[in-house]
Amino acid sequence: MSNHRFRLTRRALLSGAAGTVTLAAAPQIFSPAIAQGAPLKVGLMLPYTGTFAKLGQFIDNGFRLYVEQQGGKLGGREIAFVQLDDESKPEAATDNMNRLVSRDKVDLVLGTVHSGVAMAMVKVARDTNSLLVIPNAGANDATGPQCAPNIFRTSFSNWQTTFPAGKVLIDDGKKNVATITWRYTAGAEMIGAFKENFEKLGGKVVEDLTVPFPEVEFQALLTRIATLKPDAVFSFFAGGGAVKFVKDYAAAGLNKTIPLYGAGFLTDGTIAAQGEAANGIKTTLHYADNLDNPANIAFLKAFKDKTKLDGDIYAVQGFDAGALLDIGLKAVGGDTGARDKMIAAMGAAKIDSPRGPLSFNKAHNPIQNIYLREVKNGRNEMVKIAQAAVDDPARGCKLS
């Protein structure tokens, strides 16, 4: 009797679990009308649900906008999309990536936002020699020790976005600074690069505060900051956590006496929800809302026309991924078989990006301006270029 029960339960468990997994991870395949010649298959492995869903949506829209502007073709090839929700779950990332490259046989994968997922994708891309363009995840390792000819990044390395901030705080006369972030790789890398520059220039970090990722209960640490009384606080949070941190910081009245600085993600895509609490926060990033170069003005208008939404840096990163792929495909006349030539063209690309001039270093990480921005009138307005043409040192990368 008990044996019988057990078998039933186990069977229910297995079929139930299998059903759930299929349901949750089934890729939504959007096959376009059959075109003449084989279309180039682009796998979009992005977070379409979960905490980073909005970022995934903007990257997706940015990339599609570029393709649409070229009449649906890059380098003469029709583009077909295979869409897969990575749910920002690192544990499912290897399987998802394998599904795209082995089963769906995509020619290129675009993904993703979450660094843990992206690093699993990098590993599969290295093992299978698949083309991968990372449109957001900033893990230093992807263009460091794990760099490869077939892996590109159109976003940033974590190091890159906050290294210039070290000088910004010194220039503002902030010598004693407390840092606060989530305790995970991105947080450590962002804060680490800031400290590297800041301490080299004579600054002193009085305390490194951390919260477990993705927890958003900051009250205890805000109280700690109030007792430390540093000249300024340098922080990194993103998404919902960034909104809550900035609001809690202002509600605790700390912004009146201790100015808040941070990586740009603190106030990017979150500013509407942060409201007045964000006023005066200074951050560094490779983009600002009011960059007045022609490429940016045209991009923002086109993005608004397509989506009715205001474009942001995530959309730009997706858009530039389209531009990068276009350059590679044009160089080989749409023939992805000429892989080496295509990669060489992509590596040498000079893109007039909405963010400003964009090129790539030997590890295929962007070389780009990092801007100092200040929150004014509900926008991240550019104060100045914090550091021009910032090149990630690509520590540990063996490519040359």
Binding site for other proteins (CB under 8 A): 9, 12-13, 16, 20, 23-24, 49-51, 53-54, 57, 183, 209-212, 214-217, 219-224, 226-227, 229, 239-241, 243-244, 247-248, 251-254, 256-258, 269-270, 272-275
The region that residue 109 occupies, defined by phi over 0 for left and psi between -120 and 50 for alpha, beta otherwise, is beta
Residue with tokens 């005066």: 280
Shorter beta-carbon distance to other proteins: residue 26 or 348: 26
Query: At its nearest, how many Å lie between other proteins and the CB of residue 101?
Result: 27
Shorter beta-carbon distance to other proteins: residue 103 or 229: 229
Shorter beta-carbon distance to other proteins: residue 51 or 359: 51
Instruction: Report CA-CA distances (Å) from 210 to 113, 128, 191, 262.
Output: 22, 37, 11, 14
What phi and psi values does residue 99 have, to the nearest 5 degrees?
-60, -40
Cα–Cα dist 307/356, whole Å: 23
Shorter beta-carbon distance to other proteins: residue 130 or 267: 267
Query: At its nearest, how many Å lie between other proteins and the CB of residue 307?
Result: 12
Choose among 271, 313, 275: nearest CA to 296.
Answer: 313
Shorter beta-carbon distance to other proteins: residue 212 or 337: 212
Q: Please, what is the Cα angle at 215 between 209 and 219, to 5 degrees? A: 60
Question: 239-251 and 219-228 are packed helices; what angle lies between their axes, rounded to 10 degrees?
Answer: 50
Shorter beta-carbon distance to other proteins: residue 253 or 333: 253
Shorter beta-carbon distance to other proteins: residue 227 or 400: 227
Shorter beta-carbon distance to other proteins: residue 21 or 35: 21
Tokens of 376: 């004014």
151-153/77-85 β-pairing: unpaired
Query: At its nearest, how many Å lie between other proteins and the CB of residue 222?
Result: 7
Q: What is the 3-state secondary structure (H, E, C) of 336-383?
A: CCCHHHHHHHHHCCCEEECCEEEEECCCCCEEEEEEEEEEECCEEEEE
Element (H, E) at 90: helix 90-98
Tokens of 98: 């394998």
Quickly count: other Cβ atoms within 10 Å of residue 176's Cβ: 14
Specify the DSSP class assigned to residue 252: T
For 71-217, strand residue ranges (E) read 73-74, 77-85, 108-110, 131-134, 151-153, 176-183, 204-212
Query: At its nearest, how many Å lie between other proteins and the CB of residue 243?
Result: 4
Shorter beta-carbon distance to other proteins: residue 242 or 285: 242
Cα–Cα dist 158/195, whole Å: 13
